[in-house]
C-alpha cells in the first residue's frame, strides 16, 4: 500500500516573550479503510511542560500541551506518515425517497430554504443519492471559492448571499441543507491528498496537498459518505480525515491562548505539504 508523509507546521510570532496557556491540537489523522497512520511525530517549540494525548467524544485524536516558558515564537510541527489507498467510490443507485419533503413550497422560506427548493424537480420525486449528489455539484458550480484570512465561518445564508466562500463555508452549507431534508450530516476536516485543478485549502498550500474541509452524510447501507462540494467529488478517495464533528468549531486543528497584550501577537504562518513516501530520517 503506498505511503504519504504529511507535514503541517504552524508558527505564532510575538513582539516580546509571552507566556502560553493550554493548547489543544487535532493533527493526527483518524484510521479508516482508506488510510492508516504508521508513524507520527510532533515537535513543539518551546518544549511544553507537559503533553498528553486523548480522544474526544467523536473518536478524534487530541493533543493537549501546557507550557512554563515564555517565548517570542511558538511552533507546532506535525509529521505523519499514512498508508493511503485512494479508490473511486461507486454507489449503487439509491431510489430511496428523500427522508422528508423538507419544505413547504407555499410558505415563504428563508434564503437557504429557497435555494434548496431549486434542487427538487417539479414533482418532488427524487432519490436520496440523486439529491445529495445534485446538492454537492450545485454548490461546486454555483459558488466561487475565495480564500479568506479572517477567522470564523460564514452562515449558510451569508454564503448564498455572497455567492462565494471557503471549503469550510461550503461544507457548512451542504450540511445545513442535508439536515433540512432529514439526513444525518456532519462536518469533516483534514487534508486533500492530491492536487486538484481548483484551490481547496483554507490555509497556505505547498507540495501535493493542503488542509481541507468537507461534509459527510449518513445513508442506509452505505454509512457515512464524504461529499466535497468545493471540488464536486464524492466518496473521499483523495481525503485524509483528521476530525469529524457535528459543528466546525469543534474541529479546529490548533487553538490556545497566550498571556500578554493583544498587540504582542504579530503573525501566524501555516505551511502544509504532502509528499509520497515515508518520513525522511
Q: Are strands 185-192 and 239-245 parallel, antiparallel or unpaired?
A: antiparallel
Query: Contact at 8 Å (CB) between 226 and 240?
Result: no
List the pLDDT tens digit at each of the 281 positions of the chain.
788 999 999 999 999 999 999 999 999 999 988 889 999 999 999 999 999 999 999 999 999 999 999 999 999 999 999 998 766 555 555 555 565 555 556 665 789 989 998 888 877 678 888 899 999 999 999 999 988 766 789 999 999 999 999 999 999 999 999 999 989 999 999 999 764 334 445 544 344 568 899 999 998 888 899 999 999 888 878 899 999 999 999 999 999 999 999 999 999 999 999 988 888 87
Show contacts of 274-277: CB within 8 Å, 24+ apart.
274/4, 274/5, 274/6, 274/7, 274/191, 274/192, 274/193, 274/207, 274/208, 274/209, 274/210, 275/4, 275/5, 275/7, 275/207, 275/208, 276/2, 276/3, 276/4, 276/5, 276/208, 277/3, 277/4, 277/5
pLDDT at position 112: 92
Query: Contact at 8 Å (CB) between 51 and 76?
Result: no
Residue ranges of domains in the chain, CATH in brackets: 3-86+252-276 (2.60.40.2250), 111-251 (3.10.620.30)
pLDDT at position 97: 59
pLDDT at position 196: 37
* Rounded (10°) angle between helices 128-142 and 167-180: 150
Cross-strand bridge partners of residue 36:
83
d(CA 268, CA 10): 7
d(CA 21, CA 259): 7
Buried b (16+ CB within 10 A) or exposed e, 263-280: eeeeeeebebbbbeeebe
Q: Are strands 71-84 and 3-20 parallel, antiparallel or unpaired?
A: antiparallel
Grid cell digits, residue 21: 496557556
Integer CA distances (angstroms), 91 to 85, 133, 224, in order: 18, 11, 12
d(CA 230, CA 105): 28
Cross-strand bridge partners of residue 41:
79
Amino acid at each position: 500500500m503506498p505511503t504519504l508523509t504529511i507535514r503541517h507546521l504552524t508558527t505564532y510570532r510575538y513582539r516580546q516573550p509571552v507566556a502560553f496557556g493550554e493548547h489543544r491540537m487535532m493533527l493526527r489523522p483518524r484510521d479508516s479503510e482508506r488510510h492508516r497512520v504508521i508513524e507520527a511525530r510532533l515537535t513543539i517549540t518551546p518544549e511544553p511542560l507537559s503533553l498528553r494525548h486523548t480522544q474526544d467524544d467523536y473518536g478524534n485524536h487530541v493533543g493537549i500541551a501546557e507550557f512554563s516558558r515564555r517565548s517570542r515564537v511558538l511552533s507546532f510541527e506535525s509529521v505523519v506518515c499514512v498508508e493511503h489507498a485512494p479508490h473511486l467510490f461507486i454507489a449503487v443507485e439509491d431510489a430511496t425517497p428523500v427522508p422528508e419533503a423538507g419544505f413547504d413550497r407555499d410558505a415563504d422560506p428563508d434564503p437557504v430554504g429557497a435555494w434548496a427548493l431549486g434542487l427538487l424537480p417539479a414533482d418532488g420525486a427524487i432519490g436520496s443519492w440523486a439529491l445529495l449528489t445534485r446538492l454537492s455539484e450545485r454548490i461546486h458550480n454555483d459558488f466561487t471559492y475565495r480564500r479568506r484570512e479572517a477567522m470564523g465561518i460564514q452562515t449558510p445564508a451569508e454564503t448564498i448571499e455572497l455567492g462565494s466562500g471557503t471549503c469550510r463555508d461550503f461544507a457548512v452549507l451542504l450540511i445545513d441543507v442535508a439536515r433540512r431534508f432529514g439526513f444525518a450530516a456532519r462536518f469533516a476536516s483534514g487534508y486533500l491528498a492530491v492536487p486538484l485543478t481548483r484551490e481547496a485549502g483554507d490555509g497556505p498550500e505547498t507540495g501535493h496537498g493542503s488542509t481541507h474541509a468537507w461534509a459527510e452524510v449518513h445513508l442506509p447501507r452505505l454509512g457515512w459518505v464524504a461529499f466535497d462540494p468545493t471540488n464536486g467529488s464524492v466518496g473521499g478517495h483523495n481525503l485524509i480525515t483528521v476530525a469529524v464533528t457535528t459543528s466546525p468549531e469543534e474541529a479546529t486543528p490548533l487553538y490556545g491562548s497566550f498571556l500578554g497584550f493583544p498587540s504582542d501577537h504579530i503573525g501566524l504562518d501555516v505551511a502544509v505539504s504532502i509528499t509520497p513516501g515515508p518520513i525522511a530520517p
